[in-house]
Homo-oligomer: A and B are copies of this chain.
Amino acid sequence: MARPAALSGFPEWLPQDRIVELRLLDTVRSVFELHGFASLETRAVEPIEQMLRKGEIDKEVYVLRRLHAEDGEADAGLGLHFDLTVPLARYVVQNAGHLEFPFRRYQIQKVWRGERPQEGRFREFTQADIDIVGRDTLAFHHEVEVALVMAEVFRALPCPPAVILVNNRKLAEGFFLGLGASDTAAALRAIDKLDKIGPEKVTGLLRQDAGLSEEAAHKCLQLASIRTPDTSFVDQVRSLGVDHPLLDEGLAELSAVVGAAAARMPGAVVADLKIARGLDYYTGTVYETQLVGHESVGSICSGGRYDQLASDGKSTYPGVGISLGLTRLLSVLIGRGLVTASRSVPTCVLVAVVDEENRRASDEVASQLRSRGISTEVAPKAEKFGKQIRYADRRGIPFVWFPEGDATHSVKDIRTGDQVLADPALWRPPESDLAPSVRVVASEPASPENKEIHP
């Protein structure tokens, strides 16, 4: 086999980086489960017509075909899912009779998009979603809840600080209506382009497409510039002198989200009134997330409230959800050297082998250590001890065990060189060495704020 090349857009990690990914996955799952979200996994494929309903993304779908397909096969017309929301909507309608509502689920899976690969954009990537889906109704407080769950996720993850930016569709729409906009969707689309095309062109769009006056367009830009870590945005919006009942509702909801977050986790959630979330069908709170110091990679965690996730004739299913781009986050952490794993294997102890005839004695020690939850390998070859120690060292395995008859077992910390007598039925490594640790590397290497994460 000639050396195969990597496939652009289909990231794969070396074992050491995969340990970082596992830590992200485990942390995310653990926080989701602490909050009572149930795990769900859906099949990788959906009928293509189902996925094309959103209209915009048809170019990005990967279609499946059996290599020797015949016409009319049952699996014809299937494509790989491009997100986890379309499958959730389908799953809820399909299984509504077996689910309890509000249905709280998390889902951590690969998704596929035929996009042009670039930093932060992949053709295959992992998303970690939570959604709360009601039948016919869904209380507003869940819009506060999902932001706080994700803020806890970021606090627990080995990564630079993240800020969840929130806005509210009712607030923006009410503001545009209060200004007499003829097309609030056009106004939203214009504001969404602010970072890309600048305030001057956005003003043009607001006047031309949304039917706003020069002064009203200016107020929209003022609104979009408001960003506060507390509820002080309310007074700033009020001072713009716009009135509308929908604006009042939006201000109250956004206050509730930001106020609760400020009380529980100061700084984690910020009101940012330019967040629009493009053309997605959100109807209340919307979320985006910036990794502080790495804003250029774009939002790593987004979502919002939608009044109609799905409907089956009898019922509609409103929901609120937020989706963490795990692969995007990981690619930043690894690509920019922001985290390191302490080793490339789960192994805590390598048991040396004195000679091949006595391999079984080493197997026995390994078995005793494993029975107490200590990840252990036995050296693959009865080489000189120096070579067996190098086997451990190259993988970052911290301890080498020397079985030398019942009374003289010893274990060596190969990082310090300390060697002590030890009983395989009793010895334990320090808790911090049991599993690989994942460390955030601060930009100033001497910073005391380096975050050490142990399992």
Contacts and interface: CB of A to CB of B under 8 A. Distances in A.
B141 A36 contact: no
A54 interface: no
Interface stretch (A39-47, A218-226, A293-301): A39-47
A6 B7 CA distance: 33
Most buried by B among A1, A14, A123, A124: A1
A305 interface: no
Contacts of A42: 12
A64 interface: yes
Most buried by B among A12, A311, A381: A12
A409 interface: no
Contacts of A104: 345, 377
A366 to B, nearest CB: 8
**Number of copies of this chain that the complex holds:** 2
Nearest to A7: B43
B10 A45 contact: yes
Contacts of A312: 1-3
Interface in A318-369: 344-347, 359-360, 363, 367
A52 to B, nearest CB: 8
A4 B3 CA distance: 44
Interface string A1-41: 11111111111111100110110000000000111111111
A380 B34 contact: no
A381 B3 contact: no
A74 interface: yes
Interface stretch (A86-94, A188-196, A200-208): A86-94
A64 B67 contact: no
Interface in A45-82: 45, 47-48, 50, 58-69, 74-75, 78-80
Contacts of A50: 4
Contacts of A74: 7-8
Contacts of A105: 15
A interface residue count range (under 10 / 10 to 19 / 20 to 34 / 35 or more): 35 or more
A375 B391 CA distance: 41
Nearest to A134: B380
A375 B105 CA distance: 14
A310 interface: yes
A59 B63 contact: no
A66 B59 contact: yes
B59 A345 contact: no
A125 to B, nearest CB: 10
Interface stretch (A95-103, A171-179, A239-247, A437-445): A95-103
Nearest to A52: B67
Most buried by B among A45, A311, A381: A45
A403 to B, nearest CB: 16
Contact of A65 (B40, B58, B63, B313): B63
B346 A3 contact: no
A454 interface: no
A123 B39 contact: no
A383 to B, nearest CB: 12
A110 interface: yes
A311 B93 CA distance: 49
Contacts of A430: none
Contacts of A374: 34
A67 B114 contact: yes
A142 B93 CA distance: 49
A37 B367 CA distance: 15
Given A1-B310, A65-B65, 6 more contacts: A7-B75, A15-B99, A37-B346, A44-B44, A58-B67, A61-B67
Q: What 6 pairs across the A-B complex have the smallest Cβ distances?
A: A36-B377, A36-B347, A66-B114, A10-B43, A33-B346, A15-B38
22 contacts: A3-B94, A3-B312, A7-B75, A15-B40, A18-B40, A22-B39, A34-B370, A34-B373, A35-B370, A36-B345, A36-B346, A36-B376, A38-B346, A44-B124, A59-B67, A63-B67, A67-B114, A69-B114, A75-B114, A100-B391, A102-B380, A264-B367
